[in-house]
Amino acid sequence: MSERRVLIVGGGFAGLNVAKALSNRAGVSVTLIDRQNHHLFQPLLYQVAMAALSPADIAAPIRSILSRSRNVRVLQAEARSVDLKSRAVLTDAGTFGYDALVLACGATHAYFGHEEWEPHAPGLKSLPQATEIRRRVLSAFETAERIQDAGEQERWLTFAIIGGGPTGVELAGAIAEMGRHTLARDFRNVDPRRTRVLLLEAGPRILPAFQEKQAQRATRDLQGMGVQVRVDARVTKVSADGVDIGAEHVRAATVLWAAGVRAAPIARSLGVELDNAGRVLVEADLSVPGYPQVFVAGDLARALDIETGKPLPGVATVAQQQGKYVGKLLRDDPSVRQPFRYKNEGQLATIGRSHAIAELKHFNFAGRPAWWLWLLVHIYGLTGFRNRLTVLVQWAWSYFTFGRGARLIVPPEWREYPAPETPSERTTR
Amino acid sequence: MSERRVLIVGGGFAGLNVAKALSNRAGVSVTLIDRQNHHLFQPLLYQVAMAALSPADIAAPIRSILSRSRNVRVLQAEARSVDLKSRAVLTDAGTFGYDALVLACGATHAYFGHEEWEPHAPGLKSLPQATEIRRRVLSAFETAERIQDAGEQERWLTFAIIGGGPTGVELAGAIAEMGRHTLARDFRNVDPRRTRVLLLEAGPRILPAFQEKQAQRATRDLQGMGVQVRVDARVTKVSADGVDIGAEHVRAATVLWAAGVRAAPIARSLGVELDNAGRVLVEADLSVPGYPQVFVAGDLARALDIETGKPLPGVATVAQQQGKYVGKLLRDDPSVRQPFRYKNEGQLATIGRSHAIAELKHFNFAGRPAWWLWLLVHIYGLTGFRNRLTVLVQWAWSYFTFGRGARLIVPPEWREYPAPETPSERTTR
């Protein structure tokens, strides 16, 4: 009997856990493709954008994570579409056949039909986006220092963050801290403590996934740090000058987008039912209806919580648990499949230095204890010993000095050079 | 009496040391402009290119280094030309007048009239160049893994480094190590141990600045690591397919340039005598002939060693000492200026794990002791406590695991977005 070919598309939390569950399993040959060479620890991506960590601190090469899984092959390639009928995935490096397929390509940010806003309000989903946001935020202070016009200085010191979910809250808190502490003494012409941060949420309150009381606490913490939290503030226009909230225009040189996500476009090629956000409506076992050997996991899947009947949130723990679940299904190939059951350990959101909120199964808390818990959980979650240790060192340094270790403005000046041509000649094997 | 305005162009080793020497000096107001926001620890730049360190590990914001120097203003701006007659420097952020000027803009790599080679053979002078080299080297292995044609695989696993100075030696050693150790077990389709590294030097031996015996030792060490060292190998063509050495064509998908530098083009605007490499021929006190209040320091200056009469090399210690010297001159304003005297503490070159060569004043040595000295000197030299500690952690991790912590291929995908407009309205004050 020949080996069973499992194809995994995406090396995020979901895909990586599928591969790990199948590691060195006899009779199974696994191919994992990802357009990046690295797995990214998404929950800390905002720290790269906020100059606290370096890209390499939160990323590790997928092939090095799986180097001891001798039956797993990792290829850097971009999946373009899936042909369910002929059991093949088309990529920029050729076509890959499969016996079982796991799609775990994640999501990107969405502008709800206003794609023209993207150049003015970058979102935060990838490392290049994170370093671009870092460049913009740090450059805004540099520009304010360089110019003399008071009105323009104010515009360069105004930061608008659109979207009051965990990412928006993290970004708003971090920029406020930067102005108040990190940069406070480094400028001569402007005072970074004049930094104005607006957190704009279209809904009636920030952090809608959390309980009302916790969201109120987060709002108070943000306000204490100088952030203007505005709810029911629906943004109607984003331009180079700033944002419009209905009839009101706010001048802000830096606008960041943390308002919405959309599943990777490859889902559309399946030809099956998707939800509003482009996610695949999966069965209880995370398979695609009618295709028991095709699974969708992570942010690309719209799976329902088996207990509450509500859609599962797009967070790392859901993706991890789904990956493990699918990996076990493929490994054991049971005749009767138990449905996927999300084990909710609670949720955390960090606001800034010593401020966070935590909702665990049986009790909630906030402030410094929640912040320490957040630190612990994220250090523990980081892949690889070295990243964990360097991140600890950097956090300890930041905590005691209020400094940020990665205050680099790196221009994307390599534009002028063409990327070396990378041939693609693989076909279905 | 009004304050004396000192203008420093460039925040490298030379410029930074001028500013430090003038820190909080009464009666002196200092403006330091640099087109980057960060000071770069150049001697470790190759480690960023070789995926061992992150950009932020070897860089620190200039304004944070000088944050306690209340009389120093730091501005991110690019100097375009100098008008010696009207005592002004033209930048992209307006014109700056001065009473005394220090030009310390460094050097960039030069292709000796073959600028068309640059896209195929990037040099290593800035952080974007380092991350581009990292991307190319790591991507070459990824591509070899993805394709099936044996000849093409060989081409993707061949790396040619042009130039046998310290940078070329460091790059060659690091790529050989990567293939032999770091990546050895991570691929399935190719064996990275088949990696072929060529170090091409046009002259009769590598490391011409070192003594013959030390260069021989370095050659043996490189050969022991699998590097093919070729001297008297003058490259006559660089293309996407590889390099030509006279009539011989070597197929190599990745070519790196470590063969020559040229002073920053701003030197030409001075209208004074330059040497072949575009450097300013300075007086014994590093001033520009005829302009005792205009100094040139670091790689932009061609200064002669007062003892040997030979030009000083373009290394960090020369730039540092020159910066300190100019800073003291400007601070004390002596009626008689003592000439600049370079205090040569010796030189070091590292070849790879546990291999280095050292030439100190009275004796030379090589191997592991030289390598430990190299580590010590570079850790000590890093600016800022945090960088020093994280670099130590990463080096320790690499030493014991043969791993590289920054194996990230980050695409320059942010190309699509325009940089935010940064106004410039400053004029001579």
Residue A370 has pLDDT above 60, yes or no: yes
Kindly list the residues from chain A whose CB atom is less than 8 angstroms away from the CB atom of residue B385.
397
Q: What is the DSSP letter of A160?
A: E
* Beta partners for residue B108, in sequence order: B262
Residue A423 has pLDDT above 80, yes or no: no
Residue B413: per-residue pLDDT: 43
The stretch A86-90 carries a mean pLDDT of: 97
Of residues A330, A293, A393, the one with CA closest to residue A87? A293
Q: What is the DSSP letter of A179?
A: I
Q: Which residue of B has its CA nearest to A397?
A: B386
Q: Is the CB of B412 less than 8 angstroms away from the CB of A412?
A: yes
* Contact assessment for residue A244 and residue A235, using Cβ atoms and an 8 Å cutoff: yes
CA distance B245 to chain A (A): 21
Which among B188, B253, B414 has CB closest to A128?
Answer: B414
Measured torsion, CA atoms of residues B43, B48, B50, B52, in degrees rounded to the nearest 10: 100
Kindly list the residues from chain B whose CB atom is less than 8 angstroms away from the CB atom of residue A126.
413
Which among A93, A389, A409 has CB closest to B393?
Answer: A389
Residue A25: per-residue pLDDT: 95
| Dist. CA A315–CA B297, nearest whole Å | 53
* Contact assessment for residue A82 and residue A269, using Cβ atoms and an 8 Å cutoff: yes
Q: How many CB atoms lie within 10 A of CB A199?
A: 28
Q: Is the CB of B118 less than 8 angstroms away from the CB of A417?
A: yes
By three-state DSSP, how is residue A124 classified? coil
Of residues B221, B219, B225, the one with CA closest to residue B196? B225
Residue A406: per-residue pLDDT: 74
Q: What is the DSSP letter of B178?
A: I
Asked if A427 is an interface residue toward chain B (Cβ–Cβ < 8 A), one would say: no
By three-state DSSP, how is residue B106 classified? coil
Which among B74, B146, B407 has CB closest to A77?
Answer: B146
Cβ neighbours of residue A66 closer than 8 Å, sequence gap 6 or more:
A16, A19, A20, A23, A32, A72, A74
pLDDT, one tens digit per residue, over B318-368 is 999 999 999 999 999 999 999 999 999 899 999 988 899 999 988 899 999
Tracing tokens 């600045």 back to the chain, one arrives at B209
Q: H/E element holding A79?
A: strand A79-83
| Dist. CA B348–CA B377, nearest whole Å | 9
Higher pLDDT, A402 or B377: B377
Asked if A23 is an interface residue toward chain B (Cβ–Cβ < 8 A), one would say: no
Q: Is the CB of A409 less than 8 angstroms away from the CB of B57?
A: no
Q: Catalytic residue positions of A?
A: 170
Two tokens, residue A385: 């010993």
Kindly list the residues from chain A whose CB atom is less than 8 angstroms away from the CB atom of residue B149.
425
CA distance B218 to chain A (A): 30
pLDDT, one tens digit per residue, over A288-303 is 999 999 999 999 999 9
Alpha helices in A2-159 (DSSP H): 13-21, 45-49, 62-65, 127-146, 150-156
pLDDT, one tens digit per residue, over A112-171 is 889 999 999 999 998 989 999 999 999 999 999 999 999 999 999 999 999 999 999 999
pLDDT, one tens digit per residue, over B2-56 is 799 999 999 999 999 999 999 999 999 999 999 999 999 999 999 999 988 888 8
Please, how many CA atoms are within 13 Å of residue A90, restricted to the half-sphere of its CB? 11
pLDDT band at A413 (very low <50, low <70, confident <90, very high): very low
Asked if B95 is an interface residue toward chain A (Cβ–Cβ < 8 A), one would say: no
Kindly list the residues from chain B whose CB atom is less than 8 angstroms away from the CB atom of residue A254.
420
Kindly list the residues from chain A whose CB atom is less than 8 angstroms away from the CB atom of residue B424.
146-147
pLDDT, one tens digit per residue, over A330-349 is 999 999 999 999 999 899 99
> Measured at the alpha carbon of residue B316, what is the angle toward residues B313 and B319, in degrees to the nearest 5?
75
Touching B: A residues 35-64, CB under 8 Å = 36-38, 54-57, 59-61, 63-64
Q: Is the CB of B55 less than 8 angstroms away from the CB of A146?
A: no
Residue A300: per-residue pLDDT: 97
Q: Do the strands B28-34 and B72-76 form a parallel or antiparallel pair, or are they unpaired?
A: parallel
Two tokens, residue A55: 């890209």
Residue A427 has pLDDT above 80, yes or no: no
Higher pLDDT, A81 or A57: A81
Residue B71 has pLDDT above 60, yes or no: yes
Which among A61, A77, A417 has CB closest to B407?
Answer: A61
Tell me the percentage of chain A whose pLDDT exceeds 70.
Answer: 93
Mean of all residue pLDDT scores within chain B: 90
Asked if A423 is an interface residue toward chain B (Cβ–Cβ < 8 A), one would say: yes
Touching A: B residues 260-299, CB under 8 Å = none
Residue A236 has pLDDT above 50, yes or no: yes
* Contact assessment for residue A169 and residue A370, using Cβ atoms and an 8 Å cutoff: no
Q: How many CB atoms lie within 10 A of CB B120?
A: 22
Q: How many A×B Cβ pairs under 8 Å? A: 213
Which among B77, B409, B419 has CB closest to A36?
Answer: B409
Q: Is the CB of B185 less than 8 angstroms away from the CB of A67?
A: yes
Cβ neighbours of residue A161 closer than 8 Å, sequence gap 6 or more:
A168, A171, A172, A175, A197, A198, A199, A200, A255, A256, A258
pLDDT, one tens digit per residue, over B105-154 is 999 888 988 999 999 999 999 898 999 999 999 999 999 999 999 999 99
Residue A424: per-residue pLDDT: 46
Asked if A417 is an interface residue toward chain B (Cβ–Cβ < 8 A), one would say: yes
Residue B112: per-residue pLDDT: 86
Kindly list the residues from chain A whose CB atom is less than 8 angstroms away from the CB atom of residue B254.
420
> Measured at the alpha carbon of residue A220, what is the angle toward residues A215 and A224, in degrees to the nearest 5?
145
User: What angle do helix axes A368-381 and A385-401 make, rounded to 10 degrees?
Assistant: 150
Q: How many CB atoms lie within 10 A of CB B118?
A: 16
Counting DSSP H helices and E strands in chain A, the numbers are 10, 25
Q: Which residue of B has its CA nearest to A117?
A: B417
* Contact assessment for residue B347 and residue B359, using Cβ atoms and an 8 Å cutoff: yes
Kindly list the residues from chain A whose CB atom is less than 8 angstroms away from the CB atom of residue B147.
423-426
Interface with chain A: mutation pick from B409, B424, B425, highest number of A CBs within 10 Å = B409
Two tokens, residue A349: 């959101």
pLDDT, one tens digit per residue, over B360-377 is 988 899 999 999 999 888
Asked if B409 is an interface residue toward chain A (Cβ–Cβ < 8 A), one would say: yes
pLDDT band at B428 (very low <50, low <70, confident <90, very high): very low
Q: Is the CB of B143 less than 8 angstroms away from the CB of A423?
A: yes
Two tokens, residue A292: 């028991």
Asked if B132 is an interface residue toward chain A (Cβ–Cβ < 8 A), one would say: yes
Residue B417: per-residue pLDDT: 39
Interface with chain A: mutation pick from B23, B45, B76, B125, highest number of A CBs within 10 Å = B76
Which among B73, B187, B408 has CB closest to A59?
Answer: B408
Selection from B185-189, B205-209, B407-411 with the highest mean pLDDT: B205-209
Which among A254, A385, A405 has CB closest to B56?
Answer: A405
| Dist. CA B84–CA B413, nearest whole Å | 42
Touching A: B residues 142-201, CB under 8 Å = 142-143, 145-149, 152, 185-189
Backbone angles phi, psi at B276, to 5 degrees: -55, -35
* Beta partners for residue B196, in sequence order: B158
| Dist. CA A61–CA A125, nearest whole Å | 18
Kindly list the residues from chain B whose CB atom is less than 8 angstroms away from the CB atom of residue A422.
139, 142-143, 146
ipTM of predicted assembly, 2 dp: 0.83
Please, how many CA atoms are within 13 Å of residue A351, restricted to the half-sphere of its CB? 29
Which among B119, B148, B410 has CB closest to A418?
Answer: B119
Residue A252 has pLDDT above 80, yes or no: yes
The stretch A179-188 carries a mean pLDDT of: 89
Lowest mean pLDDT among A7-16, A262-271, B380-389: B380-389
| Dist. CA A349–CA A330, nearest whole Å | 34
Of residues A404, A406, A402, the one with CA closest to residue B406? A406
Residue B385 has pLDDT above 70, yes or no: no
Q: Which of B3, B145, B152, B170 is catalytic?
A: B170
Residue A422 has pLDDT above 50, yes or no: no
Please, how many CA atoms are within 13 Å of residue B185, restricted to the half-sphere of its CB? 12
Q: Is the CB of B127 less than 8 angstroms away from the CB of A423?
A: no
Residue B322: per-residue pLDDT: 98
* Contact assessment for residue B375 and residue B395, using Cβ atoms and an 8 Å cutoff: yes
Kindly list the residues from chain B whose CB atom is less than 8 angstroms away from the CB atom of residue A416.
119
Q: Which residue of A has its CA nearest to B69?
A: A186
CA distance B333 to chain A (A): 26
Residue B396: per-residue pLDDT: 77
Q: In what order do the strands lie in the sheet with B94-97?
A: B79-83, B88-91, B94-97
Residue B418: per-residue pLDDT: 37
Interface with chain A: mutation pick from B33, B38, B41, B54, highest number of A CBs within 10 Å = B54
* Contact assessment for residue B420 and residue A136, using Cβ atoms and an 8 Å cutoff: yes
Q: Is the CB of B139 less than 8 angstroms away from the CB of A422?
A: yes
Kindly list the residues from chain B whose CB atom is less than 8 angstroms away from the CB atom of residue A397.
385-386, 389
